[in-house]
Amino acid sequence: MEISKIYDPTAAEERWYKYWIDKGFFHSEPDGREAYTMVMPPPNVTGVLHMGHVLNNTIQDVLVRRARMQGKNTCWVPGTDHASIATEAKVVALLREQGISKHDLTREEFLKHAWDWKEKYGGIIIEQLKTLGCSCDWERVRFTMDDDLSAAVIEVFVDLYKKGYIYRGVRMVNWDPKGLTAVSDEEVIHKEVDSKLFYVRYKIEGTADEWITIATTRPETILGDTAICVHPDDKRYASLKGKKAIVPIVNRAVPIIYDEYVTMEFGTGALKVTPAHDVNDYNLGVKHNLEVIDIFEPNGTLSKAAQFYVGQDRFKVREQIGIDLEKAGNLVKTENIKNKLGYSERTNAVIEPKLSLQWFLKMDKVSKPALDNVLNGTIKLIPDKYINTYRHWMENVHDWCISRQLWWGQQIPAYYCKGQKKPECQQPVVSITKPEKCSHCGSDLRQDEDVLDTWFSSWLWPISVFDGFKEPGNKDISYYYPTHDLVTAPEILFFWVARMIIAGYEYLGKEPFSHVYLTGTVRDKIGRKMSKSLGNSPDPLDLIAKYGADGTRVGILLCSPAGNDLTFDELLCEQGRNFANKLWNSFRLIQGWEPVDIEPGNATVYTNWFENKLSEQIELIEKDFASYRLSEALMSAYKLTYDDFCGFYLELIKTTCGKNPPRKVFDATIGYLESLLKILHPFMPFITEEIWHQTKERSDKDCIIVAPYPKAGKYDAKLLANFELQKEYLKLIRGMRQQNNISPKIELTQLEPSSSDTLTAGVMKLSGTVYGKGSEGSLSFVLKDKKYLFSLPEGMEIDKGQEKDKLVKELEYQKGFLKSVDIKLSNQKFVTNAKPEIIQNEKNKKADAEAKIAAIEKQLQTMN
């Protein structure tokens, strides 16, 4: 059968993915084997696959596939997240396009639209993950708003409320005027921006021309001012005690208060106080019993309470009020400054601090075990530099604002009495199901309008996907929990990872996972974060179409050390594709061989070598996996295949045996190829499966996806070191052949390094000009301190170079080295502090150097 020179991934990838699912390789049920469990960080249901997902899910798939090949019962649970703000915003926008306003709909009507939308578009990312080759258990796919999962959320809310960890209160929250909801502290991104500092003077009440000047970046909030605050020690303002200032525009008299909170050095040392729109001002307001005037509507326009500019946007008002203040003679000056503003993570709107009634979870009640168990290593963060960050956050954690003024999500199970006939009626009733009537007065109840923060459902993910709440202690949860690895982005270490750990300890008393692998952020070639808005992210599906899923996976993995950001370049995918093709062609070569029944002879040397090499490299790859250095593991496998197997081993067999290798050699070679395929399978699942089935006839379940992962055998390090020289030699000969147009027969019969003639040949630099003095027909050289003698290919000439210079330099170097060893050995401090074996080591080095010096001197004498 003719096999194509170029490997075409498309057909094979689709075929094998279906095959794996058909044969049930992805599905897991509890059994007697050791489990390997992983839950996928659920992508937003609205999402489409981007490079971050590719990175994240490729890493997960590599870990999962390797575990599966190691014989573990592997369960990778996929799913999607309802992402309340993002999804609701999308649905609202879609409805708007259809001319429907959210406010014209009832909650039920809106939710129906949202669910329709979810059914239609929600599965996209799931299908895309399949293209990438993710071996998830698709029979277990979950959505954070599935009935079971929502029920778990409600149950947890009620439970925490009963424990007294959840409370409702008026607090200053981060208000997103675009999303029209409160967001948590973690969802606010601070950015430095250029802004203007306005110096505004307020007249002192009852005086003709006495003023107090304040500095503010937000002059529009003047309308909500209820005090002026100065430092009690500030002499400039000492005389104003007990007086009042007149707020410009609104002409309201407000008290001048004294508080140490004010920095005397900043601005004018006087501060306007707007308790409704600044956290600090709010605190001052509470302390000094100030009036609170909320001048904004939820959407960021001015409310009636502002009296002026009603209905206009806050930023427009800021401009206008500057002009108006100037006209009125209140504006002293403006200054350009840089300050930091909070932006909403989801909508990018400038966050407005706003007082509102929200639900909170007291974090200090639940966070301790989550901190302790990361610090004591029960849960390992990879890389561990994140431990510090994690600790800092956990030690300073604020209460979590868990209510959102949205409809898409789990509605808060709190019920309020409509009648309010008795004082007790004011307390909300929190319960899993809606009570019929108010137990105090018998009135009807209404449910809290708000939904819970999305993270309030995803923090239960590792438990709820195994029905750990619905059916505590069920077969799945007891078998699969705790899970093993969690692969996610560092950005959500607090949003999600920390909270999952909290929930894990709170509800199961156990960590949800043992290792957290934090991936980097995918950046483009010039270091910018890849994002849709910048348009600098390639569409992963295009990459897969162009380079195959295997090539794309290799491409992203090659540049992804744990925790470091990675600069992605499409070139890497090309490298991946080329590698796949190389592998394919190595198979083509072997496939074209016809073994004969003769004894292997010399070829045994090569098979023996490769066996050793394989063991050495498998051991190395094991180590890389153990420390989660996936790109290193891949690189080792890449070099083993490309350089050692294709570039050297196959080349040698081909040269010595032609198309008819001895059967033993042939069988061994197939075996090596299979080992390589297995090692590569987690990285390149498709091509390896494809070749696996072409090497021989196989039964339907004999697939590489479940083939036993190779184990490292014993190997002879010395033999391998010698062969590295053989490789250099082979390359040398090839180079000679090409450059001199001669064709020496490649015969590597002298595989043992020559022990004689230590320095007679001098120093030869293999990669450059050949220096040497060897006799006709032989060549010796020094590499890594050892001398080797090989037969010289016919027709090759030795270039007699500056041998003497080299030797002189070597001599000087060795003498200098000897001196340093001597000094070290005579150094009291060193000797007293050093371990005995280090001293012995130094002594050996000294002896070596002395021997070399003697040899070089002798050599130089013979040359003179």
Partner RNA sequence: GGGAGCUUAGCUCAGCUGGUUCAGAGCAUCUGCCUUACAAGCAGAGGGUCAUCGGUUCGAACCCGGUAGCUCCCACCA
CB of 640 to RNA, least distance (A): 11
> Residue 192 pairs with which residues in a beta bridge?
340
How far apart CA 712 and CA 258 sit, in angstroms, is 75
How far apart CA 269 and CA 102 sit, in angstroms, is 46
CB 563 within 8 A of CB 518: yes
Give Cα separations from 539 to 370, 409, 532, 551 (angstroms): 37, 30, 10, 14
Q: E strands, 439-539, where?
A: 445-447, 451-452, 483-488, 513-518, 522-523
- Which residues make Cβ contacts (< 8 Å) with residue 448, sequence separation at least 6? 403, 411, 412, 413, 414, 415, 416, 428
CB of 605 to RNA, least distance (A): 18
714 Cα distance to chain centroid: 35
CB 46 within 8 A of CB 83: yes
- Long-range Cβ contact pairs of 103-108 (< 8 A, separation 24 or more): 107/407
Q: Nearest 10 degrees: CA dihedral of 83, 85, 88, 93?
A: -130
CA Rg, the chain, in Å?
37
In the shown chain, the binding pattern of residues 339 to 358 toward RNA, with x for contact by CB under 7 A and - for none, equals xx------------------
How far apart CA 839 and CA 837 sit, in angstroms, is 5
Q: Does 218 bind RNA (CB under 7 A)?
A: yes
Query: What helix, strand, coil percent values describe the chain, rounded to 5?
Result: 45, 15, 35
CB of 625 to RNA, least distance (A): 15
Q: Is the CB of 271 or the CB of 487 nearer to RNA?
A: 271
Torsion angles phi and psi, residue 341, rounded to 5: -120, 150
Q: Is the CB of 466 or the CB of 494 nearer to RNA?
A: 494
Q: Nearest CA to 275 among 223, 217, 350? A: 223
Pair of tokens at residue 6: 């170029």
CB of 33 to RNA, least distance (A): 34
Q: Does 392 bind RNA (CB under 7 A)?
A: yes
Please choose, out of 25-33, 614-622, 644-652, 748-756, the segment that lies near RNA by the rule CB under 7 A.
644-652
How far apart CA 364 and CA 398 sit, in angstroms, is 8
In the shown chain, the binding pattern of residues 473 to 512 toward RNA, with x for contact by CB under 7 A and - for none, equals -----------------xx--x------------------
CA count, 13 A, side-chain hemisphere, 596: 9
Supply angle C-alpha 262, 264, 268, rounded to 5: 100
Residue ranges in 303-322 that form contacts with RNA under rule CB under 7 A = none
CB of 817 to RNA, least distance (A): 4
Q: Does 185 bind RNA (CB under 7 A)?
A: yes
How far apart CA 665 and CA 168 sit, in angstroms, is 76
Among 664, 693, 845, 846, binds RNA (CB under 7 A): 845
Residue ranges in 524-553 that form contacts with RNA under rule CB under 7 A = 525, 527, 529
Q: Does 143 bind RNA (CB under 7 A)?
A: no
Please choose, out of 150-158, 452-460, 649-657, 673-681, the segment that lies near RNA by the rule CB under 7 A.
649-657
Q: Does 7 bind RNA (CB under 7 A)?
A: yes
Pair of tokens at residue 216: 């503010």
Please choose, out of 159-167, 505-513, 567-575, 794-802, the segment that lies near RNA by the rule CB under 7 A.
567-575
Q: Does 269 bind RNA (CB under 7 A)?
A: yes
CB of 549 to RNA, least distance (A): 13
Q: Does 824 bind RNA (CB under 7 A)?
A: yes
Among 21, 305, 642, 846, binds RNA (CB under 7 A): 642
Among 115, 138, 308, 393, binds RNA (CB under 7 A): 393
How far apart CA 224 and CA 277 sit, in angstroms, is 8
- Which residues make Cβ contacts (< 8 Å) with residue 706, sequence separation at least 6? 25, 68, 69
Helix axes 685-695, 9-22, angle to 10 degrees: 80
Q: Is the CB of 5 or the CB of 120 nearer to RNA?
A: 5
Q: Is the CB of 94 or the CB of 541 nearer to RNA?
A: 541
CB of 586 to RNA, least distance (A): 4
Please choose, out of 76-84, 97-105, 215-223, 695-703, the segment that lies near RNA by the rule CB under 7 A.
215-223
Q: Is the CB of 249 or the CB of 438 nearer to RNA?
A: 249
Q: Is the CB of 123 or the CB of 383 nearer to RNA?
A: 383
Q: State the burial class of residue 536 (Cβ atoms within 10 Å of its Cβ: 0-12, 13-18, 19+).
A: middle
Q: Does 418 bind RNA (CB under 7 A)?
A: no
CB of 222 to RNA, least distance (A): 10
CB of 382 to RNA, least distance (A): 12
Among 639, 698, 701, 858, binds RNA (CB under 7 A): 639
Q: Is the CB of 121 or the CB of 817 nearer to RNA?
A: 817
Helix axes 603-626, 630-639, angle to 10 degrees: 170
Among 10, 299, 348, 389, binds RNA (CB under 7 A): 389
Q: Is the CB of 216 or the CB of 458 nearer to RNA?
A: 216
Q: Is the CB of 307 or the CB of 564 nearer to RNA?
A: 564
Residue ranges in 753-772 that form contacts with RNA under rule CB under 7 A = 767-768
Q: Nearest CA to 341 among 217, 218, 219, 193? A: 193
CA count, 13 A, side-chain hemisphere, 25: 25
Please choose, out of 94-102, 216-224, 598-606, 680-688, the segment that lies near RNA by the rule CB under 7 A.
216-224
Q: Tell me the site size for RNA, rule CB under 7 A.
A: 97
Q: Is the CB of 115 or the CB of 642 nearer to RNA?
A: 642
Q: Does 778 bind RNA (CB under 7 A)?
A: no
Q: Is the CB of 302 or the CB of 559 nearer to RNA?
A: 559
Q: Does 334 bind RNA (CB under 7 A)?
A: no
Tally Cβ neighbours within 10 Å of residue 488. Answer: 21
Give Cα separations from 629 to 266, 618, 634, 640, 775 (angstroms): 49, 14, 9, 17, 48
Q: Does 800 bind RNA (CB under 7 A)?
A: no
- Long-range Cβ contact pairs of 427-433 (< 8 A, separation 24 or more): 428/168, 430/157, 430/158, 430/161, 430/162, 430/166, 431/158, 432/154, 432/155, 432/158
Q: Is the CB of 269 or the CB of 762 nearer to RNA?
A: 269
Among 1, 2, 5, 745, binds RNA (CB under 7 A): 5
Please choose, out of 44-52, 93-101, 402-410, 651-659, the segment that lies near RNA by the rule CB under 7 A.
651-659
Among 425, 559, 573, 807, binds RNA (CB under 7 A): 559
Residue ranges in 146-175 that form contacts with RNA under rule CB under 7 A = none
Q: Nearest CA to 711 among 626, 629, 645, 619? A: 619
Q: Is the CB of 396 or the CB of 832 nearer to RNA?
A: 396
Q: Is the CB of 36 or the CB of 343 nearer to RNA?
A: 343
Residue ranges in 575-594 that form contacts with RNA under rule CB under 7 A = 575, 577-582, 585-586, 588-589, 592
Residue ranges in 594-633 that form contacts with RNA under rule CB under 7 A = 632
Residue ranges in 697-756 that form contacts with RNA under rule CB under 7 A = 731-732, 734-735, 738
Q: Does 650 bind RNA (CB under 7 A)?
A: yes
Q: Is the CB of 71 or the CB of 377 nearer to RNA?
A: 377
Please choose, out of 126-134, 296-304, 610-618, 647-655, the segment that lies near RNA by the rule CB under 7 A.
647-655
Question: What does DSSP say about strands 778-783 and 786-791: parallel, antiparallel, or unpaired?
Answer: antiparallel
Give Cα separations from 72 to 22, 249, 283, 427, 845 (angstroms): 20, 73, 56, 52, 48
Residue ranges in 801-820 that form contacts with RNA under rule CB under 7 A = 813-814, 817, 820
Q: Does 647 bind RNA (CB under 7 A)?
A: yes
Q: E strands, 177-251, where?
A: 181-183, 188-204, 211-216, 227-230, 244-247
